[in-house]
Protein backbone atom coordinates (compact mmCIF):
# COMPACT_ATOMS: atom_id res chain seq x y z
CA UNK A 1 0.00 0.00 0.00
CA UNK A 2 1.49 3.31 -1.13
CA UNK A 3 -1.46 5.68 -1.50
CA UNK A 4 -4.68 6.37 0.39
CA UNK A 5 -7.63 4.67 -1.33
CA UNK A 6 -9.88 7.45 -0.02
CA UNK A 7 -7.95 10.60 -1.06
CA UNK A 8 -4.98 9.42 -3.23
CA UNK A 9 -2.32 11.02 -1.02
CA UNK A 10 0.74 9.00 0.10
CA UNK A 11 0.27 6.86 3.24
CA UNK A 12 2.78 6.37 6.06
CA UNK A 13 3.38 3.17 8.02
CA UNK A 14 3.23 4.11 11.70
CA UNK A 15 1.53 3.25 14.96
CA UNK A 16 -1.61 5.35 15.48
CA UNK A 17 -2.13 6.74 18.98
CA UNK A 18 -3.79 4.17 21.23
CA UNK A 19 -2.97 1.35 18.83
CA UNK A 20 -0.44 -1.42 19.37
CA UNK A 21 0.67 -2.13 15.79
CA UNK A 22 1.92 -0.08 12.84
CA UNK A 23 -0.77 0.69 10.26
CA UNK A 24 -0.92 2.43 6.92
CA UNK A 25 -2.18 5.87 7.90
CA UNK A 26 -3.20 8.81 5.71
CA UNK A 27 -2.16 12.04 7.36
CA UNK A 28 -4.19 14.06 4.85
CA UNK A 29 -7.69 12.62 5.40
CA UNK A 30 -7.01 10.66 8.62
CA UNK A 31 -8.00 7.23 7.33
CA UNK A 32 -6.31 4.23 8.97
CA UNK A 33 -6.02 1.33 6.50
CA UNK A 34 -6.16 -1.88 8.53
CA UNK A 35 -4.90 -5.10 6.99
CA UNK A 36 -6.33 -8.35 8.32
CA UNK A 37 -6.11 -12.07 7.54
CA UNK A 38 -8.16 -13.38 4.64
CA UNK A 39 -10.36 -16.45 4.83
CA UNK A 40 -9.89 -19.29 2.36
CA UNK A 41 -12.79 -21.75 2.36
CA UNK A 42 -12.91 -25.24 0.89
CA UNK A 43 -14.18 -28.77 1.28
CA UNK A 44 -13.37 -32.44 0.76
CA UNK A 45 -16.20 -33.75 -1.45
CA UNK A 46 -16.75 -37.49 -1.04
CA UNK A 47 -18.59 -39.81 -3.39
CA UNK A 48 -18.96 -43.52 -2.59
CA UNK A 49 -15.83 -43.50 -0.47
CA UNK A 50 -13.61 -41.60 -2.87
CA UNK A 51 -12.70 -37.92 -2.60
CA UNK A 52 -12.55 -35.25 -5.27
CA UNK A 53 -9.24 -33.56 -6.01
CA UNK A 54 -8.36 -30.88 -8.58
CA UNK A 55 -5.08 -30.41 -10.43
CA UNK A 56 -4.36 -26.69 -10.33
CA UNK A 57 -4.40 -24.79 -13.63
CA UNK A 58 -3.15 -21.56 -12.05
CA UNK A 59 -0.27 -20.39 -9.91
CA UNK A 60 0.69 -20.81 -7.17
CA UNK A 61 1.42 -24.55 -7.33
CA UNK A 62 0.24 -25.05 -10.90
CA UNK A 63 0.06 -28.78 -11.69
CA UNK A 64 -0.27 -29.86 -8.05
CA UNK A 65 -3.40 -31.39 -6.52
CA UNK A 66 -5.72 -29.70 -4.08
CA UNK A 67 -9.28 -29.72 -2.79
CA UNK A 68 -11.77 -27.16 -4.14
CA UNK A 69 -11.04 -23.98 -2.14
CA UNK A 70 -10.64 -20.25 -2.59
CA UNK A 71 -11.03 -16.81 -1.06
CA UNK A 72 -14.29 -16.26 0.78
CA UNK A 73 -16.38 -13.42 -0.67
CA UNK A 74 -18.35 -10.72 1.12
CA UNK A 75 -22.01 -11.64 1.55
CA UNK A 76 -21.61 -15.39 1.86
CA UNK A 77 -21.09 -17.86 4.70
CA UNK A 78 -18.02 -20.09 4.92
CA UNK A 79 -20.24 -23.00 3.81
CA UNK A 80 -21.64 -20.98 0.88
CA UNK A 81 -18.10 -20.17 -0.18
CA UNK A 82 -16.92 -23.78 0.01
CA UNK A 83 -19.90 -24.88 -2.10
CA UNK A 84 -19.31 -22.09 -4.64
CA UNK A 85 -15.64 -22.99 -5.00
CA UNK A 86 -16.52 -26.65 -5.63
CA UNK A 87 -18.62 -25.61 -8.55
CA UNK A 88 -16.16 -23.01 -9.90
CA UNK A 89 -13.11 -25.27 -9.69
CA UNK A 90 -14.56 -28.72 -10.33
CA UNK A 91 -18.09 -28.17 -11.73
CA UNK A 92 -19.21 -30.24 -8.73
CA UNK A 93 -22.46 -29.81 -6.81
CA UNK A 94 -21.79 -30.55 -3.16
CA UNK A 95 -23.62 -30.56 0.13
CA UNK A 96 -21.41 -29.12 2.85
CA UNK A 97 -21.08 -31.17 6.03
CA UNK A 98 -19.17 -30.81 9.28
CA UNK A 99 -16.17 -28.63 10.02
CA UNK A 100 -12.94 -30.50 9.29
CA UNK A 101 -10.02 -28.12 9.77
CA UNK A 102 -9.01 -24.56 10.55
CA UNK A 103 -5.43 -23.89 9.52
CA UNK A 104 -3.73 -20.58 10.29
CA UNK A 105 -1.29 -19.93 7.46
CA UNK A 106 0.72 -17.29 9.25
CA UNK A 107 3.23 -16.45 6.51
CA UNK A 108 0.38 -15.74 4.08
CA UNK A 109 -1.96 -13.93 6.49
CA UNK A 110 -4.67 -16.48 5.69
CA UNK A 111 -7.04 -18.68 7.66
CA UNK A 112 -8.07 -21.83 5.78
CA UNK A 113 -11.45 -23.25 6.84
CA UNK A 114 -12.24 -26.67 5.38
CA UNK A 115 -15.38 -28.78 5.62
CA UNK A 116 -16.42 -32.31 4.87
CA UNK A 117 -18.82 -32.50 1.92
CA UNK A 118 -20.90 -34.91 -0.10
CA UNK A 119 -20.70 -34.90 -3.88
CA UNK A 120 -24.34 -35.21 -4.89
CA UNK A 121 -23.83 -36.85 -8.29
CA UNK A 122 -20.68 -38.25 -9.95
CA UNK A 123 -20.59 -35.21 -12.23
CA UNK A 124 -17.53 -32.97 -12.28
CA UNK A 125 -14.87 -31.78 -14.66
CA UNK A 126 -12.04 -29.38 -15.37
CA UNK A 127 -12.59 -25.61 -15.30
CA UNK A 128 -10.48 -22.54 -16.04
CA UNK A 129 -8.94 -23.12 -12.60
CA UNK A 130 -8.36 -26.91 -12.81
CA UNK A 131 -6.50 -28.96 -15.44
CA UNK A 132 -8.03 -32.23 -14.20
CA UNK A 133 -10.58 -33.25 -11.61
CA UNK A 134 -10.63 -36.80 -10.30
CA UNK A 135 -12.07 -39.04 -7.59
CA UNK A 136 -9.36 -40.71 -5.49
CA UNK A 137 -9.55 -43.65 -3.12
CA UNK A 138 -7.50 -43.08 0.03
CA UNK A 139 -4.80 -45.50 -1.17
CA UNK A 140 -4.36 -43.56 -4.42
CA UNK A 141 -4.13 -39.98 -3.10
CA UNK A 142 -1.08 -38.31 -4.69
CA UNK A 143 0.45 -37.30 -1.34
CA UNK A 144 3.71 -36.12 -2.91
CA UNK A 145 1.90 -33.77 -5.25
CA UNK A 146 -0.49 -32.04 -2.85
CA UNK A 147 -0.35 -28.30 -3.50
CA UNK A 148 -0.52 -26.89 0.02
CA UNK A 149 0.45 -27.97 3.54
CA UNK A 150 -2.95 -26.90 4.85
CA UNK A 151 -4.64 -29.27 2.40
CA UNK A 152 -2.26 -32.10 3.32
CA UNK A 153 -3.15 -31.50 6.98
CA UNK A 154 -6.89 -31.49 6.28
CA UNK A 155 -6.78 -34.63 4.12
CA UNK A 156 -4.78 -36.60 6.70
CA UNK A 157 -7.22 -35.64 9.45
CA UNK A 158 -10.11 -36.48 7.11
CA UNK A 159 -8.98 -40.05 6.57
CA UNK A 160 -7.92 -40.58 10.19
CA UNK A 161 -11.33 -39.47 11.42
CA UNK A 162 -13.11 -41.55 8.81
CA UNK A 163 -11.21 -44.66 9.89
CA UNK A 164 -12.17 -43.86 13.49
CA UNK A 165 -15.80 -43.25 12.59
CA UNK A 166 -15.74 -39.68 13.95
CA UNK A 167 -16.06 -36.18 12.51
CA UNK A 168 -13.87 -33.98 14.67
CA UNK A 169 -12.52 -30.55 13.79
CA UNK A 170 -8.80 -29.83 13.90
CA UNK A 171 -6.85 -26.61 14.39
CA UNK A 172 -3.34 -26.10 13.13
CA UNK A 173 -0.87 -23.32 12.39
CA UNK A 174 1.76 -23.22 9.65
CA UNK A 175 4.45 -20.58 9.85
CA UNK A 176 7.07 -20.31 7.11
CA UNK A 177 8.09 -16.76 8.01
CA UNK A 178 11.81 -16.21 8.36
CA UNK A 179 12.81 -16.29 12.03
CA UNK A 180 13.31 -12.82 13.50
CA UNK A 181 16.95 -11.80 13.91
CA UNK B 1 -12.47 2.82 -2.28
CA UNK B 2 -11.94 5.70 -4.70
CA UNK B 3 -8.24 5.53 -5.61
CA UNK B 4 -5.70 2.81 -6.33
CA UNK B 5 -3.51 2.19 -3.27
CA UNK B 6 -0.69 1.17 -5.59
CA UNK B 7 -0.60 4.08 -8.08
CA UNK B 8 -3.09 6.74 -6.76
CA UNK B 9 -5.20 6.79 -9.94
CA UNK B 10 -9.02 6.52 -9.71
CA UNK B 11 -10.44 2.98 -9.54
CA UNK B 12 -13.54 1.67 -11.34
CA UNK B 13 -16.03 -0.86 -9.97
CA UNK B 14 -16.45 -3.50 -12.66
CA UNK B 15 -16.27 -7.24 -13.25
CA UNK B 16 -12.78 -8.29 -14.39
CA UNK B 17 -12.62 -10.78 -17.25
CA UNK B 18 -13.01 -14.33 -15.94
CA UNK B 19 -14.33 -13.12 -12.60
CA UNK B 20 -17.91 -13.46 -11.34
CA UNK B 21 -18.21 -10.35 -9.16
CA UNK B 22 -17.55 -6.64 -9.57
CA UNK B 23 -14.22 -5.50 -8.08
CA UNK B 24 -12.42 -2.22 -7.66
CA UNK B 25 -10.03 -2.26 -10.62
CA UNK B 26 -7.25 0.15 -11.51
CA UNK B 27 -7.08 0.54 -15.27
CA UNK B 28 -3.78 2.40 -15.00
CA UNK B 29 -1.62 -0.20 -13.21
CA UNK B 30 -3.95 -3.21 -13.54
CA UNK B 31 -4.33 -3.94 -9.84
CA UNK B 32 -7.58 -5.64 -8.77
CA UNK B 33 -8.48 -4.63 -5.21
CA UNK B 34 -10.38 -7.56 -3.68
CA UNK B 35 -12.51 -6.99 -0.60
CA UNK B 36 -13.12 -9.95 1.68
CA UNK B 37 -14.80 -10.66 5.02
CA UNK B 38 -12.90 -9.79 8.16
CA UNK B 39 -12.46 -12.12 11.11
CA UNK B 40 -13.51 -11.03 14.59
CA UNK B 41 -12.16 -13.31 17.33
CA UNK B 42 -13.27 -13.53 20.94
CA UNK B 43 -13.90 -15.79 23.90
CA UNK B 44 -16.13 -16.44 26.90
CA UNK B 45 -13.73 -16.45 29.87
CA UNK B 46 -15.07 -18.47 32.80
CA UNK B 47 -13.93 -18.33 36.42
CA UNK B 48 -15.51 -20.57 39.06
CA UNK B 49 -18.73 -20.85 37.07
CA UNK B 50 -19.12 -17.16 36.27
CA UNK B 51 -18.28 -15.55 32.93
CA UNK B 52 -16.49 -12.31 32.19
CA UNK B 53 -18.35 -9.56 30.34
CA UNK B 54 -17.20 -6.06 29.34
CA UNK B 55 -19.29 -2.90 29.10
CA UNK B 56 -18.23 -1.20 25.88
CA UNK B 57 -16.45 2.17 26.15
CA UNK B 58 -16.47 2.72 22.38
CA UNK B 59 -18.95 2.78 19.53
CA UNK B 60 -20.69 0.85 18.14
CA UNK B 61 -22.98 -0.14 21.02
CA UNK B 62 -21.26 1.99 23.66
CA UNK B 63 -22.59 1.08 27.12
CA UNK B 64 -23.76 -2.40 26.13
CA UNK B 65 -22.21 -5.63 27.36
CA UNK B 66 -20.09 -8.02 25.31
CA UNK B 67 -17.42 -10.67 25.57
CA UNK B 68 -13.77 -9.74 24.88
CA UNK B 69 -13.49 -9.76 21.07
CA UNK B 70 -12.01 -7.78 18.21
CA UNK B 71 -10.52 -7.85 14.75
CA UNK B 72 -7.97 -10.58 14.17
CA UNK B 73 -4.52 -9.28 13.23
CA UNK B 74 -2.10 -10.58 10.62
CA UNK B 75 0.49 -12.95 12.07
CA UNK B 76 -1.64 -14.46 14.82
CA UNK B 77 -3.95 -17.45 15.13
CA UNK B 78 -7.64 -17.09 16.00
CA UNK B 79 -6.79 -18.34 19.51
CA UNK B 80 -3.89 -15.85 19.82
CA UNK B 81 -6.26 -13.07 18.82
CA UNK B 82 -8.96 -14.08 21.29
CA UNK B 83 -6.38 -14.19 24.09
CA UNK B 84 -4.93 -10.81 23.07
CA UNK B 85 -8.37 -9.18 23.02
CA UNK B 86 -9.13 -10.49 26.53
CA UNK B 87 -6.08 -8.70 27.80
CA UNK B 88 -6.64 -5.51 25.80
CA UNK B 89 -10.32 -5.16 26.69
CA UNK B 90 -10.47 -6.65 30.17
CA UNK B 91 -6.87 -6.92 31.43
CA UNK B 92 -7.66 -10.61 31.78
CA UNK B 93 -5.19 -13.48 31.27
CA UNK B 94 -7.07 -16.39 29.73
CA UNK B 95 -6.38 -19.86 28.44
CA UNK B 96 -8.32 -20.48 25.25
CA UNK B 97 -10.38 -23.68 25.10
CA UNK B 98 -12.69 -25.27 22.55
CA UNK B 99 -14.43 -23.64 19.62
CA UNK B 100 -17.84 -22.31 20.67
CA UNK B 101 -19.37 -20.45 17.72
CA UNK B 102 -18.82 -19.24 14.18
CA UNK B 103 -21.29 -16.51 13.26
CA UNK B 104 -21.43 -15.08 9.74
CA UNK B 105 -22.47 -11.45 10.11
CA UNK B 106 -23.43 -10.94 6.50
CA UNK B 107 -24.46 -7.27 6.65
CA UNK B 108 -21.09 -6.35 8.13
CA UNK B 109 -18.89 -8.66 6.00
CA UNK B 110 -17.55 -10.22 9.17
CA UNK B 111 -17.07 -13.74 10.51
CA UNK B 112 -17.11 -13.93 14.30
CA UNK B 113 -15.18 -16.86 15.77
CA UNK B 114 -15.68 -17.39 19.51
CA UNK B 115 -14.03 -19.82 21.90
CA UNK B 116 -14.56 -21.06 25.42
CA UNK B 117 -11.82 -19.86 27.78
CA UNK B 118 -10.61 -20.13 31.35
CA UNK B 119 -9.78 -16.99 33.30
CA UNK B 120 -6.55 -17.97 35.04
CA UNK B 121 -6.85 -15.65 38.04
CA UNK B 122 -9.73 -13.42 39.23
CA UNK B 123 -7.82 -10.39 38.01
CA UNK B 124 -9.38 -8.08 35.43
CA UNK B 125 -10.47 -4.50 35.05
CA UNK B 126 -11.59 -1.71 32.75
CA UNK B 127 -9.44 -0.56 29.84
CA UNK B 128 -9.63 2.20 27.22
CA UNK B 129 -12.13 -0.10 25.43
CA UNK B 130 -14.28 -1.13 28.43
CA UNK B 131 -16.10 1.04 30.99
CA UNK B 132 -16.63 -1.92 33.35
CA UNK B 133 -15.60 -5.55 33.45
CA UNK B 134 -17.52 -7.99 35.62
CA UNK B 135 -18.02 -11.70 36.34
CA UNK B 136 -21.64 -12.79 35.84
CA UNK B 137 -23.45 -15.92 36.96
CA UNK B 138 -25.75 -17.30 34.27
CA UNK B 139 -28.84 -16.04 36.16
CA UNK B 140 -27.47 -12.47 36.23
CA UNK B 141 -26.39 -12.04 32.59
CA UNK B 142 -27.82 -8.73 31.31
CA UNK B 143 -29.52 -10.33 28.29
CA UNK B 144 -31.35 -7.12 27.33
CA UNK B 145 -28.12 -5.17 27.18
CA UNK B 146 -25.94 -7.50 25.14
CA UNK B 147 -24.19 -5.47 22.45
CA UNK B 148 -24.34 -7.82 19.46
CA UNK B 149 -26.56 -10.63 18.19
CA UNK B 150 -23.54 -12.81 17.51
CA UNK B 151 -22.55 -12.54 21.18
CA UNK B 152 -26.09 -13.29 22.34
CA UNK B 153 -26.02 -16.40 20.13
CA UNK B 154 -22.66 -17.54 21.48
CA UNK B 155 -23.61 -16.97 25.11
CA UNK B 156 -26.89 -18.88 24.79
CA UNK B 157 -25.12 -21.84 23.19
CA UNK B 158 -22.42 -21.61 25.88
CA UNK B 159 -24.86 -22.03 28.73
CA UNK B 160 -26.96 -24.67 26.93
CA UNK B 161 -23.86 -26.76 26.28
CA UNK B 162 -22.61 -26.29 29.82
CA UNK B 163 -25.92 -27.50 31.23
CA UNK B 164 -25.71 -30.51 28.91
CA UNK B 165 -22.10 -31.22 29.85
CA UNK B 166 -20.88 -30.88 26.25
CA UNK B 167 -18.63 -28.52 24.31
CA UNK B 168 -20.07 -28.39 20.81
CA UNK B 169 -19.41 -25.75 18.18
CA UNK B 170 -22.27 -23.86 16.57
CA UNK B 171 -22.60 -22.13 13.21
CA UNK B 172 -25.02 -19.31 12.54
CA UNK B 173 -25.66 -16.52 10.06
CA UNK B 174 -27.13 -13.09 10.76
CA UNK B 175 -28.28 -11.01 7.83
CA UNK B 176 -29.64 -7.51 8.40
CA UNK B 177 -29.14 -6.39 4.80
CA UNK B 178 -32.13 -4.77 3.19
CA UNK B 179 -34.01 -7.30 1.02
CA UNK B 180 -33.25 -6.95 -2.66
CA UNK B 181 -35.97 -5.23 -4.66
- Give the ipTM: 0.95
DSSP structure class, residue B27 = T
Confidence of residue A170 (pLDDT cuts 50, 70, 90): very high
pTM for the complete prediction?
Answer: 0.95
3-state secondary structure of A151: helix
Question: Which pLDDT tens digit goes with each residue over B48-64?
Answer: 999 999 999 999 999 99
CB nearest to B3's CB, from A5, A88, A128: A5
Share of chain B above pLDDT 90, in %: 94
Q: How many Å apart are CA B23 and CA B15, to the nearest integer?
A: 6
Average pLDDT of B65-91? 97
Averaged confidence pLDDT in chain A: 96
Confidence of residue B20 (pLDDT cuts 50, 70, 90): confident
Alpha-carbon distance A135 to A112, whole Å?
22
pLDDT digits (tens, 9 = 90+) for B128-169: 999 999 999 999 999 999 999 999 999 999 999 999 999 999
Query: Is residue A18 scored above 90 in pLDDT?
Result: no
Taking alpha carbons only, the member of A51, A47, A65, A39 closest to residue A131 is: A65
Chain B residues near any Cβ of chain A (below 8 Å):
1-11, 18, 20-21, 33-39, 71-79, 88, 99, 102, 104, 106, 109, 111, 128, 169, 171, 173, 177
Strand partners, B105: B110, B174
Tell me whether residues A169 and B99 touch, CB distance under 8 A: yes
Calculate Rg over the CA atoms of chain B: 19
Q: Give mean pLDDT, residues A3-25.
A: 93
Q: How far apart are the C-alpha atoms of A148 and A60, rounded to whole Å? A: 9
For A20-59, what is each residue's pLDDT tens digit? 899 999 999 999 999 999 999 999 999 999 999 999 999 9
d(CA A65, nearest CA chain B) in Å: 22
In sign, the C-alpha dihedral spanning B117, B120, B124, B129 is negative
Judge: A37–B74 Cβ closer than 8 Å, yes or no. yes
Confidence of residue A19 (pLDDT cuts 50, 70, 90): confident
| Closest in B1, B37, B171 to A72, CB measured | B37
Cα separation, A51 vs B151, in Å, equals 36
Residues of A in contact with B172 (CB under 8 A): none
Q: Do A5 and B7 touch (CB under 8 A)?
A: no
Using DSSP bridges, classify how beta strands B50-56 and B94-105 pair: parallel, antiparallel or unpaired. Answer: unpaired
**Numbered residues of chain A with Cβ closer than 8 Å to any chain B Cβ:** 1-11, 18, 20-21, 33-39, 71-79, 88, 99, 102, 104, 106, 109, 111, 128, 169, 171, 173, 177
Q: Find chain B residues with C-beta within 8 A of A88's C-beta.
A: 20
Residue A37's closest CA among B117, B104, B40, B22? B40
Compute the distance between CA of residue A132 and CA of residue A89 in angstroms, rounded to an integer: 10
Alpha-carbon distance A3 to B118, whole Å?
A: 43
pLDDT exceeds 80 at position B180:
no
- pLDDT of B177: 84
Angle at B36 between CA B30 and CA B40, to 5 degrees: 145
**pLDDT higher than threshold 80 for residue A181:** no
- Is B158 strand, coil or helix? helix
Instruction: Collapse the DSSP code of A93 into the 3-class scheme (helix H, G, I; strand E, B; otherwise coil) and give the result.
Output: coil
Contact predicate B116/B51, CB 8 Å: no
* pLDDT tops 90 at residue A131: yes
Distant-in-sequence, close-in-space partners of B49: CB < 8 Å, separation ≥ 6 = B137
How confident is the model over A137-154, as pLDDT tens digits?
A: 999 999 999 999 999 999
Per the CB < 8 A criterion, the answer to whether A128 and A135 are in contact is no
Confidence (pLDDT) at B7 = 93
Question: Residue A17 — pLDDT band, cuts 50, 70, 90?
Answer: confident
Alpha carbons B102 and B153: distance in angstroms, whole number: 10
Q: How far is A109 from chain B (nearest CA, A)?
A: 5
Residues above pLDDT 70, as percent of chain B: 99
Cα–Cα distances (Å) from A168 to B44, B52, B169, in that order, read 22, 28, 11
DSSP state of A92: -
Residues whose CB is less than 8 angstroms from the CB of residue B10 and which lie 6 or more positions away in sequence, other chains included: A8, B2, B3, B4
Q: What is the pLDDT of residues B94-118, one digit of tens each?
A: 999 999 999 999 999 999 999 999 9
Tell how many helices (H) and how many strands (E) occur in chain B. 2, 11
Could you please report the per-residue DSSP string of B94-144?
EEEEEEEEEEEEGGGTEEEEEEEEEESSS----BTTEEEEEEE-GGG--GG
Is B181 a residue whose pLDDT tops 70?
no
Given a cut of 80, whether residue A180 has pLDDT beyond it is no
Amino acid sequence: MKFCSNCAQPVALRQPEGDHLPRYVCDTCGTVHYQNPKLVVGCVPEYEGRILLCKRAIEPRLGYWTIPAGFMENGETTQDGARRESFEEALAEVEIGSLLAVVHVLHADQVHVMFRARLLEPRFGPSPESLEVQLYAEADVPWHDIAFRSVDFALRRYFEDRRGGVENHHFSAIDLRAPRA
